[in-house]
């Protein structure tokens, strides 16, 4: 049996180009490369760019729940306690450095 005509070969190559397939027959190593290039890039995959949750939404929700008393964040409350202690220490130190003396000069 004779091979394909030149017209049939050209039409097969053209249809392969149109539909994004490999134009000429290739070995398995080259097909691996073709498969890699056919996949979308990592940055455009949905599971990559939507990996992390929407932090602004979660932050707003936890703030509302904390305000209602339904959510307690230990690290946030410890930071608040530290800020309160710093403020108390600052007022104590400032009070000792600059004592408030009421002196009547009359």
CA distance 25 to 13: 10
**Domain boundaries along the sequence of the chain:** 6-40, 55-96
The pLDDT assigned to 10 comes to 92
Q: Name the more confident of 5 and 20.
A: 5
Q: Tell whether the model's pLDDT for residue 102 goes beyond 70.
A: no
Burial readout 65-94 (b: 16 or more C-beta within 10 A, e: otherwise): eeeeeeeeeeeeeeeeeeeeeeeeeeeeee
Instruction: For the chain, give the percent of residues with pLDDT over 90.
Output: 10
pLDDT at 1 over 50: no
Q: What's the whole-model pTM score?
A: 0.35
Q: Report pLDDT digits (tens) over 71-97.
A: 887 777 788 888 888 888 887 777 655
């Amino acid at each position: 049996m004779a091979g394909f005509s030149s017209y049939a070969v050209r039409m097969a190559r053209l249809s392969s180009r149109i539909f994004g397939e490999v134009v000429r027959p290739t070995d398995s190593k080259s097909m691996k490369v073709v498969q890699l290039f056919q996949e979308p890039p990592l940055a455009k995959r949905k599971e990559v760019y939507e990996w992390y949750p929407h932090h602004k939404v979660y932050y707003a929700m936890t703030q509302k729940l904390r305000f209602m008393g339904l959510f307690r964040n230990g690290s946030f409350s410890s930071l608040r306690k530290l800020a309160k202690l710093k403020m108390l220490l600052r007022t104590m130190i400032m009070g000792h450095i600059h004592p408030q003396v009421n002196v009547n000069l009359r």
